[in-house]
Amino acid sequence: MQASIAQIIALVTWGNAVLKGRVVDEVSFYPSNSTFTFCESVRFCDLGRVGEKSIYAADPIAWFKRLRQEGVSALRMVYRPSQNMEAMHHGLSDRISVAFVGGGGRWLMEAAKPTGYDDWQVRWQVGECGREDQRIWRVTYGRIAVDAPPLQQQRVDAEEMKAQLTETLSKIARFAREHQLQGFEMAFVAAIARLNSPNPLEGFYHADLAPQNFLPEISLQLLAAAQAAWVFGGMGSWNDMAFEGQDEVEYNALSEELYQGLNAAIVVAANSSSQTLP
């Protein structure tokens, strides 16, 4: 899973925990969470006219505190697939462009306030490449809308999402097996196993996407399956293959189904951290 997606998941789940008073030691989240490992800075800005911005919060902890001060009751993760060629990253489909910074569709965070909803969008930029600690990314979340109507997205029950994802993983694992793609088959089979595991995030690099004992088990299973089955990237990834005839048609269809299914599963899982948004 791309670091940018994982970081938004963590901000939403930990943020909701803080807003609900479930996390006392907020400092344990930043900068020690795995999603910040390679970040030089993570700041939050208000975006005004073109070229203008002002600092809203210097880091995630300050952001959580500012959100509470402004009466934010909950955070939600929103995914928007590219709908046309102009919105696509260099003309590539989201499944292909996810290998590049800024590609893969549009991920947003939505903050619910008594006066409306604020929308936050992220930008990752490379800073000092030669740092010994490898913290080269300067991450900025911009508030692109204030007191706006809620963003609309399809609501899917977690159990329904789990069933859909299991079916998709089974189909694409069969395709991988039939084409002797053992490494990918193992990833898809492992994802199915994570969907049924009592400790689904155990052993993952991003095992700290949510505070302990905060999300329902099924949400953790969905997040784990998304990590295990995330095969999309550049050279050498699942995207870096081609077939002929009907095999190519099936490959593309299954790949798109899995990509959209994993994104949907991530949203369902992350947003289970708050049930207060309509």
At residue 247, does pLDDT exceed 50? yes
Q: Is residue 153 part of a domain?
A: no
The residue ranking higher by pLDDT, 186 or 152, is 186
**Domain termination site, one of 113, 148, 183:** 148
Helix (H) or strand (E) holding 140: strand 137-148
Residues 15 and 143 placed together within one structural domain of the fold: yes
Residues 171 and 140 placed together within one structural domain of the fold: no
Residues 15 and 140 placed together within one structural domain of the fold: yes
Residues 126 and 182 placed together within one structural domain of the fold: no
Q: What is the pLDDT of residue 13?
A: 95
Residues 135 and 168 placed together within one structural domain of the fold: no
pTM exceeds 0.75: yes
Nearest 5°: CA angle at 248, between 82 and 100?
35
Structural domain tally of the chain?
2
Percent of the chain with pLDDT over 90: 67
Residues 138 and 219 placed together within one structural domain of the fold: no
At residue 277, does pLDDT exceed 50? no
Residues 63 and 42 placed together within one structural domain of the fold: yes
Residues 101 and 192 placed together within one structural domain of the fold: no
Q: How confident is the model at residue 49 (pLDDT cuts 50, 70, 90)?
A: low
Q: Is residue 248 part of a domain?
A: yes
Contacts with 36 (C-beta within 8 Å, 6 or more apart), sequence order: 7, 30, 42, 60
Q: What is the CATH number of the domain that holds 70?
A: 3.10.450
What is the chain's alpha carbon radius of gyration, rounded to the nearest angstrom? 19
Residues 25 and 143 placed together within one structural domain of the fold: yes
Query: Are 146 and 118 spatial neighbours (Cβ–Cβ below 8 Å)?
Result: yes
Q: Is residue 276 part of a domain?
A: no
State pLDDT tens for residues 86-113.
444 455 777 877 767 666 778 999 999 9
Q: Is residue 199 part of a domain?
A: yes
Residues 103 and 171 placed together within one structural domain of the fold: no
Residues 91 and 184 placed together within one structural domain of the fold: no
Least confident of 8-22, 50-64, 103-117: 50-64
The alpha-helical segments, DSSP class H, found in the chain are 3-19, 60-69, 94-97, 158-178, 182-194, 217-228, 245-271
**Domain termination site, one of 91, 118, 148:** 148
At residue 19, does pLDDT exceed 80? yes
Range of the domain at 102: 3-148
Least confident of 47-56, 57-66, 269-278: 47-56
Residues 21 and 110 placed together within one structural domain of the fold: yes
Q: How confident is the model at residue 66 (pLDDT cuts 50, 70, 90)?
A: very high
Q: Is residue 205 part of a domain?
A: yes
